[in-house]
Amino acid sequence: MEKIAVLIPCYNEELTVEKVVTDFKRELPAADIYVYDNNSKDKTADLASAAGAIVRKETAQGKGNVVRTMFKNIDADVYILVDGDDTYPADEVHKLIQPVLEGNADMVIGDRLSNGTYFEENKRGFHGFGNNLVKNLINFLFKSNINDIMTGYRVYSRRFVKNMPVMSSGFQIETEMTIFSLVYRMKLVEIPITYRDRPAGSESKLNTFSDGFKVLVKLFDLFKNYRPMLFFSCFSILFIILGLVAGIPVITEFIKTAFITKIPSAVLATSLFIIAFLLFMVGIILDAIKNQMCILFECQLNQFEYQERCKVG
C-alpha cells in the first residue's frame, strides 16, 4: 500500500487548522498528517496536535522554508501539500492523488481558476490580477499552458519531492515548483477544484503587493537561470537597437562626407554594439551550462529511480 503524507504549513491558523486536520483524517484515515508550525503566536500547534496531526516546528520564517524542511524530512510515496486556512476542500483530494498513484503525474495542481470559484469567493481583487499576471508570464516565457500557478493545493510523487532543490524562502515556492517541473519535464497534471474564501476572522498571510513583487522577482531570476539564451538575447537586441540609434547618423555622415565629426556618438554606438555582442556570448555560455545541468539532472533521476527499484526488489 502506498504511504501518503499530508503536509500542512501553518502560521497563525488557530481558527481553521483543527478542521483542516479533521477533514483530511476523515478522507485519508491511513495517511500521516503533518502540521509544521512556522513560529505561530496563537494556539495553532496545540489545536493541530489535539486533532491528531503530527506537529513539528520550522523556525525559519516563510512558506518556502517550511516546504524545504517538509520535503527533506518526510518519507512517503505520495505527498499532499495544502494550506491550513480551510480554503481547499479535503473531499476533493481523491481525484488529485489518483494521477500520482497511477504513475501518470509527478505534480498535480489543484486548479482553482478554471471553474470560476476562486473569482467568486476571493474578495481581494488584486490577488486575482496577480494570479493572472504570473500565469500569463510563465506560459509565455516557458511555452506552457497552465491555468493556476499560485494554488496551494498540490500533490507530488516521491520522485518530485526528493529531487527538487527548494530555493525559495516564501510564497515564491509555487512559482519555483511550477517552473522546475516545466524545465525538467516532470509529468504535470491540472485538475479543477472548488475554492472557498477564508472564514470570518481568518487573515491571509500573503501581502498582495510585497509578496507579489517577490514572486515577479523570482520569476525573473528563474527565467534568467533556466532560459539564459533567450534572456540575454533580449538584452542584446535592446543594445543593438540603441547602437543603431546612436550609430546611424554617424554612418550617414560618413557616407555623405567621408568624414566623422560626431565622435562621441561613434564611440557610444561602438560601445553599445560591443555590449550587445558580450551579452549574446554570455547567453551562449550560460545556455551550454544549463544544458549540462539538465543532463546531470537526468542522470540523477535515473540513479534515484534505480535505487527506488532496488528497495522494492
pLDDT digits (tens, 9 = 90+) for 267-297: 999 999 999 999 999 999 999 999 999 999 9
Contact yes or no for 8/35 (Cβ under 8 A): yes
Closest CA to 289 of 235, 214, 232, 239: 232
Alpha-carbon distance of 100 to 221, in angstroms, equals 29
The CATH number assigned to the domain with range 4-226 reads 3.90.550.10
User: If you search the block for the grid coordinates 560601445, which residue do you land on?
Assistant: 271
Closest CA to 85 of 26, 41, 165, 19: 19
Alpha-carbon distance of 142 to 188, in angstroms, equals 14
Cell of 283: 547567453
Helix (H) or strand (E) holding 35: strand 32-37
Contact yes or no for 107/156 (Cβ under 8 A): yes
240: three-class secondary structure by DSSP: helix
pLDDT of amino acid 122? 66
pLDDT of amino acid 227? 96
Alpha-carbon distance of 307 to 313, in angstroms, equals 10
Instruction: Specify the higher pLDDT residue, 197 or 81.
Output: 81
Q: What is the biggest distance separating any 2 CA atoms in the chain, rounded to whole angstroms?
A: 88
Percentage of the chain surpassing pLDDT 90?
A: 82
At residue 308, does pLDDT exceed 70? yes
- Any idea where the domains of the chain sit in the sequence? 4-226, 228-312
pTM for the full predicted model: 0.89
Alpha-carbon distance of 295 to 245, in angstroms, equals 41
pLDDT of amino acid 124? 63
Q: Which amino acid, 37?
A: D
User: If you search the block for the grid coordinates 501539500, which residue do you land on?
Assistant: 81
- Residues 254-264 have pLDDT tens digits of 899 988 899 99
Distances (CA, A) of 95 to 99, 155, 224, 265: 8, 10, 35, 64
Contact yes or no for 118/135 (Cβ under 8 A): no
At residue 69, does pLDDT exceed 80? yes
Highest-pLDDT range among 49-53, 131-135, 206-210: 49-53
Model confidence at 121, in pLDDT bands (50, 70, 90)?
low
Model confidence at 123, in pLDDT bands (50, 70, 90)?
low
Contact yes or no for 25/54 (Cβ under 8 A): no
At residue 119, does pLDDT exceed 90? no
Alpha-carbon distance of 288 to 295, in angstroms, equals 11
- What φ, ψ does residue 275 adopt, rounded to 5°? -60, -40
Instruction: Specify the higher pLDDT residue, 116 or 251.
Output: 251
Instruction: Specify the higher pLDDT residue, 203 or 254.
Output: 254
